[in-house]
Structure 1
Amino acid sequence: MKTEHVMIGVSIAAAVAALPSIALASSSNPALAGLNTTEAPRVTQAVDNRTVSALSNTHLSLLDNLKPTGSVSDSTPMNHMLLVLQRSSSRQSALEALIAAQHDPASSKFHQWVTPSEFGETFGVADADIAAVTSWLVSQGFTVHGVYPNKMQIDFSGTAGQVRQAFRTQESRYMINHASHIANSGDISIPVALRSVVLGVAGLNDLRPQPQHKQPQVAQFNASTARFKIQKSPSDAAKPANPYAVPFTGGVRGFVPYDMNVIYNTSALYSAGLTGAGITIAVVEDLGMDNSDWPNFVAQFNLGSYGGTFTQFQPQLTPSTGNCTDPGGENPFGESIETVLDSEWSTAMAPGANIWVATCNDAGSTNFFGGVFTAADNLINGTSRPNIISASYGYGEGFTDSASKSAIDLMWAQADAEGISVFVSTGDSGSNPSFNGSIINGVPAIDANSFATSPNDTGVGGSDTADILDGTTSKYFSSTMNSVYGTALSYVPEITWNTSCGNTRAAKDLVNLSALKFCKTALIYDPNGEYTTSESGSGGPSSVDIKPSWQRIVHGAAKDQSRDLPDVSLFGGSYGGYSWVILCTGFYPCTTNFTSPVELVAGTSLSSPMFAGIQALIDQGLSNLGLSANQGNAAPTLYELARNEYGGATGGAPSSLAACNADNGTKGTSKCVFHNITDGGNSTQCIDVAAFSETTPDCYYYGTINNLFGFYGPTQVGLTSSSTTTYNSKTAAFAAQAGWSFANGLGSVNANNLFSAWKKFVNAP
């Protein structure tokens, strides 16, 4: 039987000494000058297992409407869970004040960053409290692997039985979004004495962030048309004609780095010697890639002369907790397309940068919380840290328990305080990012990516080039490729990326109808819903994080109290599947003139690493001027710069708001930092599957599918909306608009103009 009554006494000092934490903070750091966060321990009572308290919201609330399909055996390993600690309110306030000062050019602490050990000593939980919690975990039979340097997380392992006994919750099996998952069936309980310092446990369920990219397509290049022909599967070939189709012929186009360099004007920075040299971008992943892919990509598109580097590794803590093991995938047959995409397209924008592919395993029962989180967390707490992190993964806040959400937000706040710029894809399924590759159903249709809603990261959404629907391709693209296979001539007007019939621009340009009428008409030709989709760039309000002050200052800002997504957007995909980007993969390597098949891909998984690449150019430029190469979270600066162009949240809009409209193209926006995307929206299709007794709030139903995908039976289909009785531009979730919007945030950027404005903001010489 486990010890039921643990006394905290003189053994605390020995316990603290045994913990693998990092040395105390140095008072010489200007960031910490005048800051005193010394406090007494908050665990002041004996830790008694007979007196416990439940921690609310520490299980997935969506489980309340589900019945378990079975219990998890007590012997099931639960490895590398994280006990998430809670700092005091005074230390929380001090951290928030420091981060605000770090982003304020008028402050003496501007761009004065801290180390992980300084962060832990100043803003973490007191050593005595950590020792008390650790002693209790050990007394319950758990193995404690270590305390993170941030002094906010304890890595520990055990079994489902030990979880049940210690935390008073049963691990059960559930069908969630039509897949089998493990989760704790109720809130956890802990001894009352520990309540003030424990937020919860991350790793009690196996819902992990999912990659945010479209299903890649294998395509063969046709030199005569300079287009790619997608190789259709037998099931795709058997589908009826697509009623939403764009009338193009001759194949699809595959964008190359040159195209994005021209469209977003990074090429002007290359000419000035800014390529990202000396800056490190880490992409965090849960599966590896073939090591020959990146060199192949660099060679194919003539990027080798810029001097970028590539390293693939498993980031470990010192001393190691053993929580990051090799997930494999370093071969053509097992690699992750997500990892290939992130590494190659961050390089596409910053060809001189150092690319770190940081991977940790989340397969099976080795880490319930997920390798993507572990890779990022270990980097941020490591001795060698990147300047920039890109995370192209996500899931909705509705699929995230409170402890996991707290751990995510704690992690990105620490990154910000250390000066690391974090970019996160906002998602690929419209107003709810949890349905990439499927259709929004069974949960509220309005949600936001829990991996991106922290106020300490920058959420990147997806746009689409407008030329195909406008019929203006010849104006913006050459009919022949140059020596590096590029065709872009200039910036191309953008709309929101949305592949569904909810795309208002497609409805207007193709059939001159509203989106709602377009959807109703298409249902006549697609009665079984073969082309029903929620695929679109994602955006929406957080139900957890409050709106940061910097998000309130720009024209168009939502008048809510929520942290809203996205912050910015870059190309994510196209309506009708006409435009993609090219990957060089292990199974389909790139060859000169594309004589062999390649893989084409799209999604906000592309948008995030591309913006990370743009940030690397800015970081190098500022470093060359003698300023910090680290900028911390980019969002506060981006919103300040956008306010100069778009105007503030109140008062009249300046003339530059209209001048910077993306519809104006290069001529109209040549002097703008931002391209304000005002057309389209990310309202997509949603369903109510009677066969599963599922209802979908925030869905305006407009019709019935006879037999969804041939086996679901009659299914209601609708469009995501804030109203179930009315659907228009005001209720659609969500329409693009002038200024900031849930569809595209602040819009996309002209990288050269962004750098010029950024220099001015930080008072660069």
Structure 2
Amino acid sequence: MNHLQLVLKRSPLRQAALDTLIAEQHDPHSGKFHQWLTPQQFGEAFGVLDADIAAASAWLTSQGFTVNGVYPNKMQIDFSGTAGQIGHAFHTREKYYTVAQAGHFANETDISVPAALQDVVVGVHGLNDFRPVALHLTPRTVKFDAKTQAFHPIEAGKGATSQAINSPFTNNVRALVPYDMAKIYGVDTLHAKGITGKNVTIAVLEEASMQPSDWTSFVNLFGLRRYGGSFHQIQPQAAGFTNCSNPAVGNPAQDDGETLMDAEWATAMAPSAHVVVASCGNFDFDGLGGIVAAATNLINGTQRPDVISASYGLGEDIVDKASKSEFDLLWAQADAEGISVFVSSGDSGSSPDFNGSVIERLGVSANALATSPNDTAVGGTDIADELDHTTAKYFAARFNAQYGSALSYVPEIPWNWSCGNEVAAKSMGFSSAVAFCKQQLAEGVYPTSEAGSGGPSSVDIKPAWQRLVYHAAKDQSRDLPDVALYAGSFNNATAAIVCDAKNPCTSGFLAPVDTDGGTSLSSPLFAGIQALMDQALADKHLPKDQGNAAPTLYALAAEEYGGAAGNAPASLAACNANNGTHGTSGCAFHNITRGSNSTQCVEAAGETTPDCYFYGTMPDFITLGSNDQLQYVTVRIGLTSTSSTQYTAATQAYAARPGWSFATGLGSVNAGNLLTAWEKFVNAP
């Protein structure tokens, strides 16, 4: 078992000092505002004491392990050994398990360490292979018809496909291109001013590589080459370490859909930026894991990026304590170093783990990678014109030279492919989402949980800045998401074009092309927008790096939405996403108030599912029986709700609403207006 991480715990005094410093780094009235640290400075001030590190390393060696090194942050010791040594040293046993019909390994019991180390050791990361998963849909292949100016699906893609709606895209697919996203989110106005992400580095964390020609195809087809951006793939290594293996693409006709979508769409928003794919292989018994290895080595390295995007997720309810602690300590270190980290909130409504049979029975949860108070969680939206039958108002009938058709900002709702999408339900004449779901069940439509995720953390406490805005949840938890951008559409009728090795992009779309989505799209989109903020600030001789964007975003949103106390200002209603482009033209944020991310949940084989309002049963859910034969069982099916007896706007998990919500956080942004507000904030007297 190679490159396990002994995750260390700083003293309460050092933790309090770190929290104070990060708050001061984000306070424009502080003398430490934007005074970022190096990894070495971080380790010296906020890591574990050298004597404790020496004691922990000596103990590992005495147990037969090989100590590969200590990271500059002085919070992680990389070591290797065997499963037998793990069992002997930590008083547990590695075993194989079958979970959701898939094989996994994990430690049988909690570990224990000598009493002398208990105050400085959190645990060991890498004792199991429950690792973050990519948060994107299955790509859908489409073919362009130049006569009708429409894309026709030739591959179904993932999720329910029979939820037909009366819209221009019932039998077609609308494929969004960089021009469309830039127009919808006000990025085009910044590009016109030369604010394109120049001299800013965006790293996308991956566990697989891609064909560089895909990125080249993307920038060439959509006219982005003229901006002079760059693309590189690296396997980052911190000094003295060799724990990032190369997940090379073996077949020239294949590559990873997650990786290419992240790299291409970060470039779409910031076409002059340096986009770096930081990829490490995710091999069996390699404890560090792909994206965690990439993040650890980048943040502790000498060539650190300005912005990081991580489009992966793993629910807090299935992550071990050591792994969760490692995620949080990495993002805190990145924040203190000035790196802006964006993490996808998840693709399955009120739990990032709902996409996966028996895991759908776990109930409400939050993405463990995103619930640190030192990153910005990005949820998913859908553009509502299709369901509102207002497409002609917001999209041109024919494409322009950049293959785009968006005319302006388009009203948004939470991305929700399931029958819990009440906007879709009412668009099709149903009185409620429950009525729509019952009809779908009667027609035998298989349930889906595809939706932008949000929910409260069960581990991390609410940071002070998250309490600032109108309708902030009155809990003690770090809540997700913070903001949201386009992720997908109901019925998969609209998606983003990606250029991949299987279906390379060609001029005029003469050949089939793939489309994709998910909050894996939302996170790199916002990372690209952050790169625009960084360049514009640097151009005015202000610090380029901003650290965690969330504290600033909440402070700016409070100016439009109002604070947590008192009445909401008139600007809250003015910034309602339903107003469209004219009503929100002066807003930095689009407040999304319709719809929810409540999705379908199940209960099977007598297992009790929390947080679910059941409305029927379904007899075709497949599970693995005790005799290793596939069996059909009857399951109850419902919608996620904080009440098992009623499903209302107050109980559904979760409804969009004025101000902040678990569905879309603060909502989406107008990048041009956001920059104006950001510059004012940074220049605060």
TM-score normalized by structure 1? Answer: 0.87
Q: Distance in 2 between matches of 1:336 and 1:246?
A: 34
Match of 1:150 among 63, 70, 73: 73
- RMSD, aligned α-carbons: 1.6
Q: Distance in 1 between matches of 2:166 and 2:60?
A: 59
How is 1:28-67 mapped onto 2 (pairs within 5 angstroms)? none
Call closer, same or farther: CA 1:353–1:508 in 2, change over 3 Å: same
Q: Distance in 1 between matches of 2:398 and 2:25?
A: 48
Match of 1:416 among 335, 357, 360: 335
**Given the alignment of the two structures, is residue 430 of structure 1 paired with residue 345 of structure 2, yes or no?**
no
Match of 1:657 in 2: 572
Count of aligned pairs = 677
Secondary structure of 1:570's aligned partner:
strand
Call closer, same or farther: CA 1:697–1:262 in 2, change over 3 Å: same
How far apart are 1:225 and its partner, in Å?
2.0
How far apart are 1:605 and its partner, in Å?
0.2
How is 1:616-765 mapped onto 2 (pairs within 5 angstroms)? 616-690=531-605, 693-708=606-621, 712-763=632-683
How far apart are 1:399 and its partner, in Å?
1.2
Residues 473-511 of structure 1: CA deviation (Å, up to 9, x unaligned): 000000000011000000000001000110011111112
How far apart are 1:699 and its partner, in Å?
1.0
Call closer, same or farther: CA 1:661–1:246 in 2, change over 3 Å: same
How far apart are 1:180 and its partner, in Å?
1.3
Match of 2:194 among 273, 276, 279: 273
Call closer, same or farther: CA 1:713–1:379 in 2, change over 3 Å: same
Call closer, same or farther: CA 1:235–1:356 in 2, change over 3 Å: closer
Q: Distance in 2 between matches of 1:249 and 1:138?
A: 63
- Kindly indicate whether the alpha-carbon contact (under 8 Å) linking 1:389 and 1:420 is maintained by their aligned counterparts in 2: yes
Match of 1:475 among 372, 393, 396: 393
| Residue type at the aligned position of 1:481 | F
Call closer, same or farther: CA 1:127–1:202 in 2, change over 3 Å: same
Call closer, same or farther: CA 1:196–1:635 in 2, change over 3 Å: same
How is 1:292-441 mapped onto 2 (pairs within 5 angstroms)? 292-320=213-241, 322-329=242-249, 331-365=251-285, 367-436=286-355, 441=360
Match of 2:37 in 1: 114
How is 1:522-671 mapped onto 2 (pairs within 5 angstroms)? 522-526=440-444, 530-671=445-586
Call closer, same or farther: CA 1:439–1:629 in 2, change over 3 Å: farther
Secondary structure of 1:98's aligned partner:
helix
Match of 1:256 in 2: 177
How far apart are 1:368 and its partner, in Å?
3.1
Q: Distance in 2 between matches of 1:738 and 1:763?
A: 29
| Residue type at the aligned position of 2:190 | L
**Given the alignment of the two structures, is residue 459 of structure 1 paired with residue 377 of structure 2, yes or no?**
yes
Match of 1:191 among 105, 114, 117: 114
Q: Distance in 2 between matches of 1:743 and 1:234?
A: 24
Secondary structure of 1:397's aligned partner:
coil
Q: Distance in 1 between matches of 2:163 and 2:549?
A: 41
- Kindly indicate whether the alpha-carbon contact (under 8 Å) linking 2:5 and 2:287 is maintained by their aligned counterparts in 1: no
How far apart are 1:442 and its partner, in Å?
2.6
**Given the alignment of the two structures, is residue 513 of structure 1 paired with residue 431 of structure 2, yes or no?**
yes
Residues 150-184 of structure 1: CA deviation (Å, up to 9, x unaligned): 00000001111000000001111122233211111
Match of 1:504 in 2: 422
Call closer, same or farther: CA 1:763–1:235 in 2, change over 3 Å: closer
Q: Distance in 2 between matches of 1:712 and 1:334?
A: 36
Q: Distance in 2 between matches of 1:87 and 1:124?
A: 6
Call closer, same or farther: CA 1:91–1:487 in 2, change over 3 Å: same
Secondary structure of 1:755's aligned partner:
helix
- Kindly indicate whether the alpha-carbon contact (under 8 Å) linking 1:440 and 1:687 is maintained by their aligned counterparts in 2: no
Call closer, same or farther: CA 1:575–1:249 in 2, change over 3 Å: closer
Q: Distance in 2 between matches of 1:719 and 1:486?
A: 36
Match of 1:11 in 2: none
Secondary structure of 1:686's aligned partner:
strand
| Residue type at the aligned position of 1:540 | G
Call closer, same or farther: CA 1:330–1:100 in 2, change over 3 Å: farther
The answer to which of 332-341 and 531-540 deviates more is 332-341
Residues 590-640 of structure 1: CA deviation (Å, up to 9, x unaligned): 000110111110100000000000000000000001111100000000000
Q: Distance in 1 between matches of 2:549 and 2:190?
A: 18
**Given the alignment of the two structures, is residue 128 of structure 1 paired with residue 51 of structure 2, yes or no?**
yes
Secondary structure of 1:196's aligned partner:
coil
How far apart are 1:336 and its partner, in Å?
0.9
**Given the alignment of the two structures, is residue 494 of structure 1 paired with residue 412 of structure 2, yes or no?**
yes
Larger Cα-atom Rg: 1
Q: Distance in 2 between matches of 1:242 and 1:708?
A: 18
Q: Distance in 2 between matches of 1:84 and 1:494?
A: 41
| Residue type at the aligned position of 2:32 | K
Match of 2:206 in 1: 285
Secondary structure of 1:617's aligned partner:
helix
How far apart are 1:441 and its partner, in Å?
2.1
How far apart are 1:712 and its partner, in Å?
3.3
Residues 72-96 of structure 1: CA deviation (Å, up to 9, x unaligned): xxxxxx1110000010111101100
Quote the sequence identity (%). Answer: 59
- Which consecutive residues of structure 1, in runs of 5 or more, have no partner in the other structure? 1-77
| Residue type at the aligned position of 1:538 | S
Match of 1:38 in 2: none
**Given the alignment of the two structures, is residue 217 of structure 1 paired with residue 135 of structure 2, yes or no?**
no
- Kindly indicate whether the alpha-carbon contact (under 8 Å) linking 2:60 and 2:67 is maintained by their aligned counterparts in 1: yes
Secondary structure of 1:706's aligned partner:
strand
How far apart are 1:332 and its partner, in Å?
3.9
| Residue type at the aligned position of 2:103 | S
- Which consecutive residues of structure 2, in runs of 5 or more, have no partner in the other structure? 623-629
- Kindly indicate whether the alpha-carbon contact (under 8 Å) linking 1:244 and 1:501 is maintained by their aligned counterparts in 2: no
- Kindly indicate whether the alpha-carbon contact (under 8 Å) linking 2:97 and 2:103 is maintained by their aligned counterparts in 1: yes
How far apart are 1:647 and its partner, in Å?
0.3
Secondary structure of 2:632's aligned partner:
coil
Residues 679-735 of structure 1: CA deviation (Å, up to 9, x unaligned): 000000011122xx5332111111011223696332110111111111111110000
Q: Distance in 1 between matches of 2:495 and 2:157?
A: 22
Q: Distance in 1 between matches of 2:615 and 2:408?
A: 40
| Residue type at the aligned position of 1:512 | F
Call closer, same or farther: CA 1:703–1:123 in 2, change over 3 Å: same
- Kindly indicate whether the alpha-carbon contact (under 8 Å) linking 1:679 and 1:737 is maintained by their aligned counterparts in 2: yes
Q: Distance in 2 between matches of 1:598 and 1:167?
A: 51
Secondary structure of 1:651's aligned partner:
coil
How far apart are 1:245 and its partner, in Å?
4.3
Match of 1:75 in 2: none
| Residue type at the aligned position of 1:328 | A
| Residue type at the aligned position of 1:702 | Y
| Residue type at the aligned position of 2:415 | W
